[in-house]
Amino acid sequence: MKRTTTIALTALSAGVVLSAGLTPTFLTSTKQPAHVSAPAAARRASGVTTIVWAAGTISGNGLRQDMVNHFEKLHPTIHVKIVQEPSNTNTTRAQLVSEISGGATSPDVYMGDVIWPGQFGSLHLALPLSQHLSKSFFSRFAPGLVQGASYKGVVYGAPFFQDSGFLYYRKDLLAKAHLPVPRTWQQLMHDSLVLQHKHMVKYGFVWQGASYEGLTCDWMEYLTDAGGQVFNKAGKPVMNSPQAVKALTFMRSLITSGVTPKDVITMQEPQAMTAFNDGQAAFLRNWDYAWTNSQTKGQSKVIGKVGVVPLPTFAGHAGTGYATIGGWNLYVNPHSKHLAADLTFINWMTGVQGQTILATKASEIPTNAAVQRNPQIRKLNPVLSIVSKTHLIARPSQTPQYPAISLAIYSNINAALAGQVSVKQALQTANSQIAQAANKSGL
């Protein structure tokens, strides 16, 4: 993988100015004069400035440290200490809310979900980056990402990498059974049962069914594909619609048919990934990183046997299914004592060099538009060519009350998947709870 990254960086260097060579105009206001770059300011200080970066694991192949090593080589007066975030997004959010609201100055920079700007901006848990970084800095990002990282017109997050749901499949098993790659959810169920009945694989399809944010993401894909919505155009919750019933009934049928294991109701991304990597499942719904993960020695038993396509759609629909927009931003702790170093770090991580490493060492979707469009990088990252064929959808997260809205979704969907309540009861309860949360935010 390191060799791949080197090739990509070498190819880019001839035609693109790397972020290390950017002028200090990306800064608009720091504790230093605007005409002084953050690295220069740091050199005037005594010793080395250490900033703490709280980050979740990215692809599990040493990517974070590799990026930090490159950054520190170019900025020797800034040391970056990585602190591991919990794998559960909800746990990470709660931990950061507690720490930062209590006045903690560390972490200085943290990796956070794209759905956080509403809550974190309203509670002053993230630095308003658009007040400290120039407009030219934000022009590097692909369309729509800056808006998604904003709340009430203020940008709180620097888009780090995009996520999107994909269908990963065992191309060797399909070939052996003479089955096509499924284009519909019904075909996926059929193919799974065929492979299982032939004793070629233990599970048909694994995904994220635990009671947490990941289930909200999966749910949005089925719901939207079935023609449903969380809110209608008037802002009224409509989670108890016939379309929602269709979506949840199908999800439940994946479990009752045996295509999906019963313990999917406890599966998050790592558990689903492990089942697929161990060769136990024919199909997997997961994010961009799953491609690299499935091809990494020591982690996967299915290297060279995996294909990836857009998510399926329901029978009778044309094209592909829908994929929830995910991803992570880089946020700055408003209490940080190292603002100039923080902004220098963010500038490099979202610049061409940092994003090239991100896109080639791991199969993440870079947020930097120049890197996204680079044809050489597209050859090395198969998900980049697929995401353009996918219908992307957003979660209803542009409100400080989104955590409560999402909780209403995933807790009730999980209860229905577990068979604890009926499909209709789960959706009715979810709709009522969403309405209560929305009323608090004035939606």
Give yes or no: residues 268 and 364 share one domain. no
Residue where a domain terminates, one of 361, 376, 391: 391
**Long-range pairs for 32-36: beta carbons < 8 A, 24 or more residues apart:** 32/340
Confirm if 331 and 350 have CB atoms less than 8 A apart: no
pLDDT class of 105 with cuts at 50, 70, 90 = very high
Instruction: Give DSSP secondary structure letters for 114-174.
Output: TT-HHHHHHTT-S--GGGTB-HHHHTTBPTTHHHHTEETTEE--EEEEEEE-EEEEEHHHH
Give yes or no: residues 133 and 262 share one domain. no
Whose CA is closest to 363, among 348, 380, 349, 351? Answer: 380
Average pLDDT across the chain, whole number: 89
pLDDT of res. 10: 33
Give yes or no: residues 56 and 150 share one domain. yes
Say which residue, 33 or 158, is predicted with more confidence.
158
Give yes or no: residues 92 and 184 share one domain. no
pLDDT at 143 over 90: no
C-alpha 60/C-alpha 299 separation (Å) is: 9
C-alpha 368/C-alpha 370 separation (Å) is: 6
pLDDT class of 66 with cuts at 50, 70, 90 = very high
Condensed to tens digits (0 to 9), the pLDDT of residues 37-53 reads 444 444 444 589 999 99
C-alpha 58/C-alpha 79 separation (Å) is: 20
State if pTM tops 0.85.
Answer: no
Residue where a domain terminates, one of 358, 376, 391: 391
pLDDT of res. 14: 30
Give yes or no: residues 273 and 417 share one domain. yes
Give yes or no: residues 366 and 297 share one domain. no
The residues that bridge with 284 in the sheet, in sequence order, are: 168, 206
pLDDT of res. 242: 98
Give yes or no: residues 352 and 213 share one domain. no
pLDDT at 443 over 90: no
C-alpha 340/C-alpha 109 separation (Å) is: 12
Please report, rounded to a whole number, the percentage of residues in the chain having pLDDT higher than 90: 76
pLDDT of res. 12: 35
Give yes or no: residues 431 and 290 share one domain. yes
* Residue 318 belongs to domain spanning: 164-324+393-441
pLDDT of res. 13: 33
Amino acid at the residue 264: V
Give yes or no: residues 403 and 265 share one domain. yes
Give yes or no: residues 68 and 81 share one domain. yes
pLDDT at 28 over 80: no
User: Which are the contacts of 350, defined by CB distance < 8 A and separation ≥ 6?
Assistant: 19, 140, 141, 158, 159, 160, 330, 367, 368
Residue where a domain terminates, one of 353, 375, 391: 391
> Number of structural domains, the chain?
2
The CATH number of the domain holding residue 128 is: 3.40.190.10
Condensed to tens digits (0 to 9), the pLDDT of residues 325-361 reads 899 999 999 999 999 999 999 999 999 999 999 999 8
Give yes or no: residues 226 and 253 share one domain. yes
Condensed to tens digits (0 to 9), the pLDDT of residues 357-392 reads 999 988 889 999 999 999 999 888 888 888 878 888
Give yes or no: residues 246 and 192 share one domain. yes
pLDDT mean over 294-315: 95
